[in-house]
Amino acid sequence: MSEVTGGVEMEEETGGTVKKFMFVNRKAPYGTIYALEALEVVLISAAFDQDVSLVFLDDGVYQLKKGQHTKAVDMKNFSPTYRALEGYDIDKLYVEKESLEQRGLTPDDLVVDVQVLSADEISKLMAEQDVVLSF
Amino acid sequence: MGTIEVNGKVLETDEEGYLQNLSDWSPEVAEYMAKQDGLELTENHWEVINFLREYYEEYQIAPAVRVLTKAIGKKLGPDKGNSKYLYELFPYGPAKQACKYAGLPKPTGCV
């Protein structure tokens, strides 16, 4: 299975222990590289059998918006890739309620099934993590 | 960066031989790449290659080998959804090699 290991060192370091990794997505999907880079890191992290969760807040909620048409900005529409996360055993997707509401969105507007949590609930979850990576 | 010539057409590849442009792909490209590796593509190979193309079409990524193995098992049965079977078909690694033949980029997370 050498194909999927992106960093042998990391495996040795963790020595089979599972840590809680949370990836926090705060930025709009296009205009910066953050959203796409975060998604790549998440996909790679799946190879290490860690406890991975994703949070979408602020403009980050737009990453999951249905019906993205990216031709005009000359970027690949990578929103379908969020639907592949389930196959990578990443099924903890949290969206902040306030961010969603401020943008007039509901879970029905999103490409994947998510858990909608309040800012307070998300902050509690963050406190439980071993590693929080913000993009 | 390199090029391959298939059916009189010159196609761009990256340094590892993956197609630069997805739209350049045709079944002949897969046949050509396999031949370079000394491999004859059988129906079993095509099953995996076609699966990968469908997966890419749907999710816009090439799956990691673990994900591919699981998904193949789901679709084609447990006798095909295992590493042994897939490595026999694609000795250079089912995800890497089959993705290459399928005209997809190298799977994310592959070294």
Residues of B in contact with A4 (CB under 8 A): 64-66, 95, 109-110
Mean pLDDT over B19-36 rounds to 94
Q: What is the mean pLDDT of chain A?
A: 90
Q: Domains of chain A by range and CATH?
A: 18-134 (3.40.1260.10)
Q: Is the pLDDT of residue A10 over 70?
A: no
Tell me the C-alpha to C-alpha distance, in Å, between residue B33 and each of B4, B6, B26.
9, 9, 11
In the block, tokens 């995996």 appear at B48
Mean pLDDT over A19-41 rounds to 96
Percent of chain B with pLDDT over 90: 80
Query: What is the domain extent for residue B77?
Result: 2-101
Comparing alpha-carbon positions, the chain A residue that sits nearest to B86 is A1
Instruction: Kindly name the residue from B16, B34, B110, B111 that is annotated as catalytic.
Output: B110
Task: Provide the domain count of chain B.
Answer: 1
Mean pLDDT over A74-81 rounds to 93
Residue B74 counted as domain residue = yes
Residue B79 counted as domain residue = yes
The CATH number of the domain where B61 resides is what?
1.10.10.370
Query: What confidence score (pLDDT) does residue B80 get?
Result: 94
Query: What confidence score (pLDDT) does residue B109 get?
Result: 59
Residue B110 counted as domain residue = no
Query: What confidence score (pLDDT) does residue B106 get?
Result: 83
ipTM of the complex: 0.84
Band (A124; pLDDT cuts 50, 70, 90):
very high
Comparing alpha-carbon positions, the chain A residue that sits nearest to B57 is A80
Residues of A in contact with B64 (CB under 8 A): 3-4, 43, 46-47, 88
Interface of B with A (CB under 8 A): 58-61, 63-67, 70-71, 83, 93, 95-96, 107-111
Residue B62 counted as domain residue = yes
B110 is catalytic: yes
Residue B56 counted as domain residue = yes
Number of A/B CB contacts below 8 angstroms equals 58
pTM, two decimal places: 0.86
Query: What confidence score (pLDDT) does residue A13 get?
Result: 52
Residues A92-118: b if buried by 16+ CB within 10 A, e if exposed: ebbbbbbbbeeeebeeeebbbebebbe
Residue B10 counted as domain residue = yes
Return d(Cα B69, Cα B86) in angstroms, integer: 8
Return d(Cα B88, Cα A92) in angstroms, integer: 35
Q: What are phi and psi of A129, to 5 degrees?
A: -80, 155
CB atoms within 10 A of CB A32: 11
